[in-house]
Structure 1
Amino acid sequence: MKISTAPCNWNNGDIPDFRPYTPYAQMMDEMVEAGYTATEWGPGMPDDPAVVRDETAKRGLEMVGAFVRLGYRDRDKWDEADAAALAVAERVKAAGGSILVAAELGDERRDAEAGHVDEANGLSDEQWRNLADGLSHLADLLEPMGMRVVLHNHVGTYVETAAETRRFLDETDPAKVGWCLDVGHLKYGGGDAMDFLPTYGDRVEHVHLKDVDPEVLRKAKAEQWSFGDALRGIIFPELGDGLVDIKGVVSWLQEHDYNGWVVLEQDTTHRAPKDAARINREYVQSIL
């Protein structure tokens, strides 16, 4: 497996007011100082892929992919989703990446219910078909570019809970749509990666590795926090300090010859972002 970092460790697009954004040059320098040789595209990076490619190359950083939220659940929104997806895919491809990490679009209600959703208010059967068909359609658009789409199970979206994540995996075509397993979001949404891997491990084509603070999660559920509230409360601690069986996940991936990217993410932290990123890398490498 290959280890990467991500700009969200420095600049979080979900709560941009959490701390002042770190300028991209400083952020990339700190990625290298924290021991990384690869990154996803993300908040705070320049819009021009040529600039991103030059800036990463001179620091020895490889570009992995980029995240985007897409609204394929409604058939009449496919053109809008295509435009958003292709804009990001073309930019990240030009910067050297090959993976489009897609999340279901979600909405304000789902964001407010993050971690304590009412599944009765989830997608209809028609919307599930639209989502699955839309992702396969996107895969066909990306294939000539040499890009691959992976769906990210994500709190605040309609692929959040264990049941919703299973339905996504069961409804989509494995030949076209991969799974970005985010172990932290899955735990936050009530699932567990170690329950999924024996059955769905072959669907994993990309991994976001983060942990979940049990006390923050308890408060988030009890007090009905939104996703933004939980991020401000530092729901994702340093790896190894929370509920997720990080060692178990990494060991399973190793034992099953996973050769994709493992992106070490911590959306918010009380520490300096560089220090948290270094701690997380050292923790994973101690397992490896």
Structure 2
Amino acid sequence: MVEQSPLSATSSVRLGVSPLSWVNEVLDDLGKDTMAETCLTQAAAAGYAGVELSRIFPKEPAALKGLLGGHGLGLVSGWHSGFLADRTVEEEIAAVREHASLLKACGASIMVYGECGRMPENALDIGMSNRLRLGADEWTAYGERLTRFAQALHDEFGLGMAYHHHLMMVAETLDEVRAVMSATGPAVGLLLDTGHAFAAGYDYAALIKEFGPRINHIHLKDVREQILADVRTGDLSFNDAVRAGMFTVPGDGAVDYGPLAGFLSEGTYSGWLVVEAEQDPQKAPPAETVARAYRFVTENILKPALARA
């Protein structure tokens, strides 16, 4: 019998999992034969309450709701590749409408926004030193577009926007996350990703300290430190880093989750914790990997948070 999350009965914090442990969204060969039923059956068996959207799931609302409901799972959120660094709010709203409608229809309350504008061609397949950056004079206007878009997303679809700081995107470093948060209004929430912060060279605890009230979504990703060092030394691409196993689930890497447990113990965060790791399912069998991560999160994040509360 799967142990119930220790916070589930006493708070609005829920534990979900990303299908990235089963199938990669960019590298088609990683998990290419995986069926949605396999992913959802194993996610539910491990104890998770929900999953994020995946390319292997149906995109018709009734079909997706039925599929997830059949496994007792909710839809946590879904990634949107945004281009507000380069295009207008009106263009972005038109681009997101179908995706946002699906999220709303299936009960999600958060949409993950990843900034894919201002990225070099084949950005995930070139050395990460080639990342492009916004100029100092561009942040204010960019922030205004993000704020207008986030407000429209809320007004039309009832969705909160969680801005994802991410390797190879315009908000990778701590200073760049600060620039986004400074330039945007409260409609723009922050997705805290423990692994992307670590890989970018800073402590995610700084995000909690500086922007805790704006954190509206959390990805629990770990990093294998020696592989990260090799990636940096060799200036490998993001996709090469994924194939090399740089990312892993919580408990298998170097990230310290103590500060996160402390943050949760304050009782101010309401939302999902999502176990997420881009890995090769042939090297990291998903059923075993996500079950181990569930146990780690329960014992090392959720229970300590509850004890401190």
TM-score relative to the length of structure 2? 0.86
Q: How many residues align?
A: 283
Q: Identify the match of residue 199 of structure 1 among 187, 200, 210.
A: 210
Q: Please report how far the alpha carbon of residue 167 of structure 1 lies from its aligned counterpart in structure 2 after TM superposition.
A: 1.0
Q: Please report how far the alpha carbon of residue 126 of structure 1 lies from its aligned counterpart in structure 2 after TM superposition.
A: 4.5
Report the equivalent of 2:289. 276
Using the alignment, how far apart are the partners of 1:84 and 1:126 within structure 2?
26
Report the equivalent of 1:32. 44
CA contact (8 A) 1:113 1:156 kept: no
**Correspondence list, 1:20-59, <5 A:** 20-59=32-71
Report the equivalent of 2:6. none
CA contact (8 A) 1:71 1:78 kept: no
SS at match of 2:248: coil
Q: Please report how far the alpha carbon of residue 57 of structure 1 lies from its aligned counterpart in structure 2 after TM superposition.
A: 1.0
Report the equivalent of 1:237. 248
Report the equivalent of 1:86. 97
Q: Please report how far the alpha carbon of residue 117 of structure 1 lies from its aligned counterpart in structure 2 after TM superposition.
A: 6.0
- Are residue 60 (structure 1) and residue 82 (structure 2) matched? no
Using the alignment, how far apart are the partners of 2:161 and 2:148 within structure 1?
10
Q: Identify the match of residue 190 of structure 2 among 179, 201, 206.
A: 179
- Are residue 266 (structure 1) and residue 254 (structure 2) matched? no
Alignment root-mean-square deviation, CA: 1.8
Q: 5+ unaligned residues in a row in structure 2: which ranges?
A: 1-12, 303-309
> Which amino acid in 2 is paired with 1:201?
G
CA contact (8 A) 1:184 1:210 kept: yes
Q: Please report how far the alpha carbon of residue 191 of structure 1 lies from its aligned counterpart in structure 2 after TM superposition.
A: 1.7
Percent of pairs with identical residues: 28
> Which amino acid in 2 is paired with 1:247?
G
CA contact (8 A) 2:89 2:148 kept: no
Using the alignment, how far apart are the partners of 1:19 and 1:57 within structure 2?
23
Label 1:19 to 1:240 Cα distance change in 2 as closer, same or farther (>3 A).
Answer: same
Q: Please report how far the alpha carbon of residue 284 of structure 1 lies from its aligned counterpart in structure 2 after TM superposition.
A: 0.5
**Correspondence list, 1:203-222, <5 A:** 203-222=214-233
Q: Which whole-Å deviations, capped at 9, do the CAs of 1:117-173 have from their partners, x for residues lacking one?
A: 66xx51024532333122212122222321111101011211111111111111111
Report the equivalent of 2:151. 140
SS at match of 2:37: helix
